[in-house]
Amino acid sequence: MHPILFKFGSYTVYSYGFCIAIGAILGFYYMYREGKKRFGVTFDQSNNLFILLVVAAIVGGKIFLIFEKPSYYFSNPSQLFSGSGFVFFGSLLFTIPVMLWYFKKIKVPVLGMLDVMAIVTCIVHGCGRIGCFMAGCCYGKPTDSFLGVMFTDPTCQAEPLNTFLHPTQLYEAAVIFCIMIFLIILQTKKKFNGQVFLSYLIAYSIFRSVLELFRGDIERGFIIKNILSNSQFISLLVITIACYFYVRLNRSSTLTSH
């Protein structure tokens, strides 16, 4: 759409990076505010966590990128260190163990903080998908729907240009923000700590599995070509594991309350 937001002489501000930065700032603010209010998390602790999560997200997003085109990245490893190209599930799955370790280290309720981080993730991810739309990556299949969007900027990543495509990036951003609103409401009514985080994992993974049907960027990788994408496979695993822990924690809370 508009991959380059603006330029200052030789300095270029890219839409994707700008949206990620906005999401990170808003996410950090929410994380610090809620962490301090609920569990007494300090600013320094929030700042350290933020830095650790950024590193984990970059590493995980890049490692999972290899699965999209293994032969290409093994032949051109330097491309992994280019500015573009991340896999969200890779970032998410790498940040979870970091959060578990860090929350135990600073001695705050792990499941309670994970509930806070579910909303933080929605904030950052939703803003990031708007950035994807601006950059033209993660684009959809051609469509005759009134929702179709045409990408014309030759510097964007969408293919083919000048053709109406499903704006899958906006579909995803809209659903992520809807999930976020649901999670904020659930936070005030939850039955057990961890319910918000697990609900996020289940809801997003279900939606992501459906969204893949409308994606047009086939280079994202498939377990079974044109049938089961990498993200759909990971979604199924996440749904299964999250449902297991949801039932287990819900059962424990029910037994405790009685």
Residue 80 above 70 pLDDT? no
Q: Two tokens at 66?
A: 């290899």
Which pLDDT belongs to residue 193? 96
Q: Give this prediction's pTM.
A: 0.91
Residue 72 above 80 pLDDT? no
Residue 242 above 70 pLDDT? yes
Number of continuous H segments (helices) and E segments (strands) in the chain: 8, 6
Domain coordinates in residue numbering, the chain = 4-257
Task: Choose between 74 and 227: higher pLDDT.
Answer: 227
Percent of the chain whose predicted confidence (pLDDT) is above 90: 69
Percent of the chain whose predicted confidence (pLDDT) is above 70: 92
Q: What value does the mean pLDDT of the chain take?
A: 90
Q: Two tokens at 69?
A: 């085109």
Calpha distance 59→91 (Å, rounded)? 7
Residue 213 above 80 pLDDT? yes
pLDDT band at 226 (very low <50, low <70, confident <90, very high): confident
Calpha distance 56→44 (Å, rounded)? 18
Q: Compute how many other C-beta atoms are within 10 angstroms of the C-beta atom of residue 123.
A: 22
Which pLDDT belongs to residue 98? 97
Mean pLDDT lowest for which of 29-38, 62-71, 96-105, 212-221? 62-71
